[in-house]
Amino acid sequence: MRRTIYPEVPPRVEYELTPLGRTLIEPVSALSAWALAHSDEIEHHRASSIATIGNEASGDDADRSSQVV
């Protein structure tokens, strides 16, 4: 990331990706696409995890062995 500060009033700052930073576009885009494609499954596991945490807080940890991580 390149940050350019201009001595103006009001202050102005511009940001741009460096050549090295641009090499991250493809892998980050792939990660984003994966997350979008699996968002329903991710949300299901997140909700299950929240429920498990709630059960542990109440002392009911019977479902701990079936937890998917």
Are the C-beta atoms of 3 and 13 separated by less than 8 Å? Answer: yes
pLDDT tens for residues 11-48?
999 999 999 999 999 999 999 999 999 999 999 998 88
Cα–Cα distances (Å) from 44 to 15, 26, 28, 41, 49, in that order, read: 37, 27, 23, 5, 9
Residues 11/5, Cβ–Cβ less than 8 Å? yes
Report whether 54 contacts 46 (CB < 8 A): no
- Going by pLDDT thresholds of 50, 70 and 90, the confidence category of residue 49 is confident
Model pLDDT, residue 59: 64
Assessment of whether the complete model's pTM goes beyond 0.95: no
CA distance 22 to 1: 9
